[in-house]
Structure formats: structure tokens, C-alpha cells
Amino acid sequence: MQENNIRKLYENLVASYGFSEENVMFLKSVFPEMKRDIKSLYVAYSVIKNDLEQPINIGDIELNLIEDKVEITYNSNVAGFYKDEFKHFLAQTITICEGILPQGTLVELDLEKIKVPNPYATQLYVVITKRFLGDENGPFYQYGGELYPTGNYGTGKIISFTPATIKRIVHMGYESEIDEQFVYEIMDEIVVKQHRLSMGFVENKEA
């Protein structure tokens, strides 16, 4: 996804939460730092989810848990948010910042982060053939795909996965303005307007 569309989605997400005007401006100001360090966003999400009382740094941003609040400091400015609401917001921010790969992209998945069809496999390559998989109003997987190079021979099953399970991109699929617009509209609908979560942030995977 293009950087300008990622930023537009993020700003739409911020506006959708009904935060105070001061907090809206604050969250918009920290976007470059958050986008630059997605790994630290995952760490911050884990710390908040597990109620760990330790400061978290995302570039020049510092987060602290104080009872049921998250206090964020950036450039001497401070903003406070309710913990549960901010955890949900942070999960959706990560989903937006990660973007969406085009169909036809070949990726290697991390065997430590996904259940594999063959428990003896040492590598797992998948071609992305589907995106946005899930029930109409529930959590969703960003990607579905077929094993490479064999396809899903004998099973017919699609492997569903999230960006966090991707170890590396081997070959990028075809990108176009039409695809960019399609992805933007889907993300704006399901993440921004419906506030749906990626399956990677669902604590009860049976949900």
C-alpha cells in the first residue's frame, strides 16, 4: 500500500474513535514514529494486553501503564487513553501500518508462528491467492494462499495467515492503481468503520 493511503486510513481511524480534539491532534503527530517501528508497536500491544508495568518506547514515543490508563509522551506533550480502548486502537493501527500485499505475492512463512500441514517441514512457501478472509462481521485473516510449488494438492485447503507470520517476501505480486484503491476501500470499511480486528489480535481464536 502507498504511504499516503496508509496515513489516510490511520487518520480516519483516529477520527472514528471519538477522542478529544487534543488527543486526535496528538495521535496524528505520532504517526510517523509509529509507522517507522512496527515491531515496537507489537511489543507495546503485548505489554498493554498483559498489564505489564514497564515503560515502552516506540522511537521517541514513551508509553506507560497507569492503572486503567495508557499515558503517552512525545516531544514533551502528554496524552492519556483508557487502556482497553487504546489496546484495540493499537491493534488496528498495526493492521493499517502493515499494509496489504498484492495477490500473487510469494512469501515464506515463519514455522514458529503458524501451524503447518507437514510437521516435518523446514520451510513453508505460500502464494497469496486471497485476501480478507473471515466471517462477515468477525475477525479476519489478511491473507489466504496455496503452497508453493505444489499448490494445495490433495487437500483443497487454503492456508490462512496474518502479516506477523510472514518471515520474508520472496517475490512481489502485480501492483496497480485499481488494486490499491480496492485495498484502501476494504480496509476503510472493515478496520476503520466496522472496527474489526485482524485474527492476529484475537485472544480467543475460536471467536
| pLDDT band (50, 70, 90) for residue 115 | confident
User: Considering the domain boundaries, does residue 166 fall inside one?
Assistant: yes
C-alpha grid cell, residue 35: 509507522
* Percentage of the chain lying above the pLDDT 70 cut: 95
Give the residue, 188 or 137, on which the prediction is more confident. 188
Last residue of a domain, one of 53, 79, 98: 98
Cα angle at 109 between 165 and 207, to 5 degrees?
A: 40
Whether residue 44 is found in the same domain as residue 130: no
Q: Do the Cβ atoms of 10 and 93 come closer than 8 Å?
A: yes
Nearest to 128 by CA among 109, 157, 106: 106
Write out the residue range of the structural domain in which residue 54 sits.
3-98
Indicate if 21 and 74 belong to the same structural domain: yes
Predicted confidence at residue 121, as pLDDT, reads 77
Based on the structure, what is the number of domains in the chain? 2
Residue-wise pLDDT tens digits, 5-63: 999 999 999 999 999 999 999 999 999 999 999 999 999 999 999 988 888 999 899 99
Rounded to whole angstroms, how far apart are CA atoms 30 and 33?
6
**pLDDT value, residue 117:** 66
- Work out the mean pLDDT of the chain and round it to a whole number: 92
Helices 3-16 and 83-98 cross at an angle (nearest 10°) of 160
DSSP codes, 105-161: -EEEE-TTSS--SSTT-S--EEEEEEEEEE-SSS-EEEEEEEETTT-STTT-PPEEE
How sure is the predictor about 105, in pLDDT bands with cuts at 50, 70 and 90?
Answer: very high
Task: Give yes or no for residue 186 having a pLDDT over 70.
Answer: yes
The pLDDT value recorded for residue 204 is 67
Do 19 and 92 lie in one domain? The reply is yes
Check whether residue 92 and residue 111 sit in a common domain.
Answer: no
Task: Give how far Cα 94 sits from Cα of 89, 115, 118, 162, Å.
Answer: 9, 22, 30, 12
Whether residue 13 lies inside any domain: the answer is yes
Q: Do residues 26 and 92 both lie within one domain?
A: yes
Compute the radius of gyration of the chain from its Cα atoms: 18
- Do residues 56 and 42 both lie within one domain? yes
Task: Looking at the structure, tell me whether residues 114 and 151 fall in a common domain.
Answer: yes
Q: What is the pLDDT of residue 136?
A: 84
User: For residue 130, what pLDDT is reported?
Assistant: 96
**26 in any annotated domain:** yes
pLDDT digits (tens, 9 = 90+) for 75-92: 999 999 999 999 999 999
Shared-domain flag, residues 7 and 93: yes
Q: Give the chain's length.
A: 207
**28 and 91 co-located in one domain:** yes
Domain end, chosen from 98, 131, 154, is at 98
- Residue that terminates a domain, selected from 98, 115, 132: 98
Indicate whether 170 pLDDT > 60: yes
Same domain, 87 and 17: yes
